Amino acid sequence: MATPILDGPSACVTLSNGVRMPWLGLGTWRSADGDEVEAAVRVALEAGYRHVDTAAVYRNETGVGRAIRESGVAREDVFVTTKLWNDAQREGPDAVRRAFDESLARLGLDELDLYLVHWPVEGCWRDAWRVLEDLYEEGRCRAIGVSNFLVHHLEALLEDCRIVPMVNQVEFHPWLVQPELLATCRARGIQHEAWSPLMQGRFLELPELAEIGRAHGRTPAQVLLRWNLQKGSVTIPKSVRPERIRENMGIFDFALAHEEVARIDALDRGERIGPHPDEIEF
């Protein structure tokens, strides 16, 4: 079990290239551009978050960027992630570079903290990764990584890449632990990151979380996010509700016992909520 992390939502893990990435971030999937996403980002930054995750396909980069710029928080203190969508991968390297430029323009930023290949589109992701390597070497993003890459994708990438991904953002929750993937990331120096860590609300179906929470005076969501951290995974729960955004911060001043982590691990049943990375059709 990882050493407890106790210094709040700005607590960071150091990536393989020395860049510091906050353990807790605000996810913005399905947060509507404009007032909704801007309000969520504003509340998160006011509450102490220093990490915001978006993607081209979320169609809310404009609002995310506006909220960050208007927050009063220094740009260098906010870690911003966005992702390359599949259509640009399929159109080839020039389209990948254009997609990066367009995301940066929508965000209103001069530099990204982290840029990810969103899905491993078969026959396309290798060329896309080479463009990300170029962008990194040009100093246009502080870190690069992948999303939804399974062990076999990582092994194939590592055979001929110039730069090892700093991050792999994947579906991760008690029903889908994927211990081999977690171990591979750790062994290769790739930071594991969880999307949909609250199972798109289905964590409420797990009575074990509530039972563990009662022992700590915590909510089931806080228990689950704390489990993420103790598994060594950066976590980016999505919410647009101010009370939930603030609640999700309450994971840095308690720790789960080894037995409690193992109890949550034992819920694994290899079940996905999102699509399988080898079967994407979008």
Q: Strand, coil or helix: what is 225?
A: helix
- Structure tokens given for 2: 């990882």
136 catalytic? Reply is no
Q: Which amino acid is present at 217? A: G
Render 24-52 in DSSP notation, one character per residue: B-EE-TTPPTTHHHHHHHHHHHHHT--EE
CA 177, CA 194: separation in Å to the nearest integer? 10
The single residue of 49, 58, 115, 136 carrying the catalytic annotation is: 58
Residue 144: what are its φ and ψ, rounded to 5°?
-130, 155
Q: What is the DSSP letter of 141?
A: B
Distance CA 179, CA 181 (A): 5
Mark out the alpha helices in the chain (DSSP H runs): 35-47, 61-69, 86-91, 93-107, 125-137, 151-160, 179-188, 207-216, 220-230, 242-247, 258-265
Q: Tell me, what DSSP letter sits at residue 77?
A: G
Q: How far apart are CA 42 and CA 64, in angstroms?
A: 9
Report the alpha-carbon distance of residue 84 to residue 97 in Å, rounded.
Answer: 9
Please give the positions annotated as active site. 58
